[in-house]
Structure 1
């Protein structure tokens, strides 16, 4: 049977310029292009937009010469931070200025003495309720913010002659700087005038995952055939059923219009290593579980997602009452099986840690078990 490229056939039906879209996508996502490649792509985009030769040169010169230090963190982190974490009022106040680059932002977490060790950071933010301000202070040399890209001046030559020497990476220290409380981005967390800290949990990257899902579903629908054949020929492509189009196409549109995939890529890919390897997060959870285990004998009952640990004696002794396959359809049976397995794992781990000379040595030696 002759192989048919169904996706190519579907792309040929597009009512927009697919090649032009690829160019725009590449500019947003490919940070490894050479200067000439980038300029060639920019020329193609500007030609597509029917901009004159003089405007092309001016636009490219401004993009490549005037703004290289600000393109990455200003557009990739500062603006998305305001959009994702700022209240509506804060967005109205700052976004218009940021888009026009009348205010410029960067990201200053790393400290000279601490790298990505967030718990070891020394810069302090002390709330002053009298003046409704945060006092930001860098008390030591090692608390200096080191390497923030996009500030004025520069720390000097960096290792190698590559990309980092083409941008400014500065050093920053705060000397009891007063910042009004309402300058804190307060959409997902805030400090009240009464010194209460309030935080909401927001699953910010769900839209990205859903965008992947609808892309997969659309591609599969273009390849899969089902029903519709009356004379023994090929069955109908699933994508050609109007009901399938009604379900998928609005979602595809939403994914491109609202998910801002290039921006999500720039913002969330680094999230894998902001605080080091993700193993660090697993170890933090493990420490919390070990602390909860240590408090079981005190009469303090676990709450929330660890409430089941209050039944640890039962879970260590219980046996599943599953008798036949259909019993696994009971959510309570599955839940108890997981609870029993987890309880036995964390009790065994806690016992092994208790046999070590110190708790810290136990955590170091048994880190694989904790993960």
Structure 2
């Protein structure tokens, strides 16, 4: 690995600063991670991590509480937000029992509360006087928010709302920290005033006493049990039995219920109440980039050390590092490119979300439909591709990748979970598709679109067939035109199919659903490629030519490999109308192969640049020293099952031998 790092064409630290936004941030982040890892005792990676030592459900939660407390206090005491969105292991913040405090609880109050409510609740939360979570999902209802059953009935006489779970399926289910860790929550419940159902609204509800942790009367709380990942937190359930809260606990930034029960709301308030969920999607897309980068870092480091076979032509005296095989570094380098593409796309999402918030501060919400679509699509694209990519990275590590101590199963499972966080992905694709069809409707009506959507009406010279040859496919304009052409064609095609259908609109939508999802994905992939290109066009003036060249190659690999990768989703849509010919695909394959050859010496540097600590990767395969086999055996020898057998019975595992193995050996035939 040392030789691989020395062969890199650019300064790794320069790229690290680009990833994290500058030298100062990089240094502050490193100090924070070192401080937290020392406090948790995880910095010494020669010691088997506790999570690999037979922890039961309670012990996993206990460890999660410790990590959550240390990171929460470190951020508060040292005034940083490095663990606001993700844990020291790189998982989304709700992997911590206290992760939703700043991930969703405080944003819900900030975005949906009035000034008085923000002045009351936010200081309490930021000072750690209360600990909050966010209760939206129910046992029987998730992404379909309008179907939520929990009610908040206004009692005018008492000037209170009565929070109630009227059915088993209305039990709030899944919120992080809900089981045992948090004292307050923002509950989404149906607002009932008299016989009028005003739909889902947000309410602050105290769950537990801040003195002794006891659940308040009428509230039943508990843990939902073991999951594929995220077992350091207490994802929980809550049942409300006629729980009373003051009228002032309803978040009234966009809606108001007066003392006499009069209800008023600004236009579009229902969508505005989902602003917290929108922010969650933006953050998930960004964190997913780092998780995919973690998986590729482990797999690239392992593949640089692991030797197997004597080369593709079965010749030579020595075994070959597996990263030298085309199939291996094609898979890994394309995933590295996708991690960077996801990072840069998430930055575009961040920037647009900031613009929206500035708009909303002045009462302007026209950008909200676009931002809702963008965040939904980016979250769906990022999490689905990252989950598939992390799993493929795990497979690239062979049998060792199947070990929990590789760190990869936890990464794969945690990204997989994100596919359903803040909206199930196939539902989110449909939300993008609905917005795209409305854009075409608007175009046909002569209305203006958001600037990022104007491409639907502006072909920019894109012809029915691509004219590029050989190295011309490395041009950013050519790559963008290919993605733009596909997105335009699929959007207009599905619009025509749905709008001209003789079926009832819901039936037409369902009938053409897969085409709608294809169009939505094509649109988001075009936006993602645009974001990558924009990042390259706006690199700091001080960026060295070597790094510029490496990033340009990475962008081209991302754009072109999607066209010829057998694992690409819906790759047929690039060629089904003849926009690209078979000879052109062969030319693209040639360019991809040349890009792979050029980028292979930079593989370690491109992953090292993410600056993950050994403790954060928690992987015997992915430590920076490259001592894979030594690290595996060091951790394996510390496993409790081995220590028990070796120390107590000289290598015999009791009572397993006595109860099960010995009877088989000594059974009479």
TM-score between both structures, scaled by the size of structure 2: 0.29
| Structure ranking higher on relative contact order (CA contacts 8 Å, 6+ apart) | 2
TM-score between both structures, scaled by the size of structure 1: 0.48
